[in-house]
Amino acid sequence: MRRDTFLKSLAALAASSSLPMSAWAATNIKMMIPANPGGGWDATGRALGKALLEAKAADTVTFDNKGGAAGALGLAQFVNASKGDPNALMVMGAVMLGGIITGKPPVSITAATPIARLTSEYNVFVLPANSPFKTMADVVAQLKKDPGSVKWGGGSRGSTEHIAAAMIAREVGVDPARINYVAFRGGGEATAAILGGNVTIGGSGYSEFAEYIKAGKMKAVGVTSGARLKSIDVPTLKEQGINVEIGNWRGVYGAPGITPEQRKALTEVVLKALKTKSWSEALVKNDWTAAVLSGPAFEKFVDDDFASLRATMVKSGMI
C-alpha cells in the first residue's frame, strides 16, 4: 500500500471511531507527584503508572516528584509547565485542599482539570517503638499537662493528620493553636522522624506505616475511622472517647486548558488502568479503599470537600 493511501486510511479509521478514544489519547504520560518519595501520593502515582502500562493505556509513564507546602509547589509547577498538555496527570487529594486553605498559595487547584478520585484511606497515629507512652490516653494526658511538649509529626500543614491532631486537642479541652505540629515534606521524612524518636507521635495513612507497625518498630494507638477497619486491629479514636473522624482521599487532575474531548479521553485512560490486576493488588497491599469517582460528580465532590475541610479547620482553630 502506498504511504499516502495508508495515512488516509488510518485517518478515516480514527474519524469513524473504529478505535476507542483512549487509543488516541496520551500514550506518554507525565505524572506529577507533588510530594517527596516515600509517601501516599508517591505510592499512588507509581501504582497508577504501573497500572496504565499493564492496561496498555500508556506506552510510557515518567514521574516527577516535587514536594513541599502540602503539594502547592508541585501544583504550581504542574499548572505553569503543563498548560494544554493532554498527556499530563497530577496526583492530589484531601491533603492538597487542606494546604491550599491554610497556605493560600498563588496557584489553586481550580487552575487544573479534575479527572478522577481513586482511593480513600483513614489516618493512623503511631508512637515510636521506644516511646515512654503506650496508648493514646498517655499522649492525651501529656497534651493536657504541657501541650508544647507533645510533638506531632506528619505531612504538610493542612494535611488530614494535622487537622486530626487539632481536632483531638479541641476534643480533650486543649487549645488547638497550642499543639506542636512538625510538618514534613513527604511520608519518607515523617517515617524517619518517627523511627528516630524525633517526634512524640506521628500520623499518616495506614499504608505508609504498615510495615513498621507489623515489624514492631511503631505502635499504632488510634485510627481516624468511624468504626474499626476490618484488616487493621487498631482502636478508633471514637472508641477511646475522642470524637474525631476524618478520611483521606487521593485522586488525579489533568493539565489546565485541555479540551473537553481530551479530558474525556484522559479520564477513560485512568479508569481503564483501575481495572487491572496490578491496581487491585495495590489496593490490597496498601489497605486502600477503592473510591472511584469521575466527571462532574468528582468535580462537585472536590468543591464540597473543600468547604467541609475549611469548616472543620475553622472549628478546630487552625484558621
Q: What are the average pLDDT values for consecutive 10-residue runs of the chain, which has 319 residues? A: 42 40 63 92 97 97 94 96 97 95 94 97 96 98 98 91 95 95 86 96 92 96 92 93 95 98 97 98 92 97 96 88
CB 130 within 8 A of CB 195: no
First to last CA, the chain: 68
CB 103 within 8 A of CB 195: no
CB 204 within 8 A of CB 124: yes
Helices 94-103, 160-171: crossing angle, 10 deg rounding: 70
In this prediction, residue 124 carries a pLDDT of 96
C-alpha cell at 45: 502515582
pTM here is 0.82
In this prediction, residue 287 carries a pLDDT of 85
Report residue 119 CA to chain centroid gap.
8
Q: How far apart are CA 229 and CA 235, in angstroms?
A: 9
Say which residues have a Cβ less than 8 Å from residue 197's Cβ, sequence separation at least 6: 128, 130, 131
Say which residues have a Cβ less than 8 Å from residue 202's Cβ, sequence separation at least 6: 125, 126, 127, 128, 152, 153, 154, 161, 190, 191, 193, 194, 209, 218
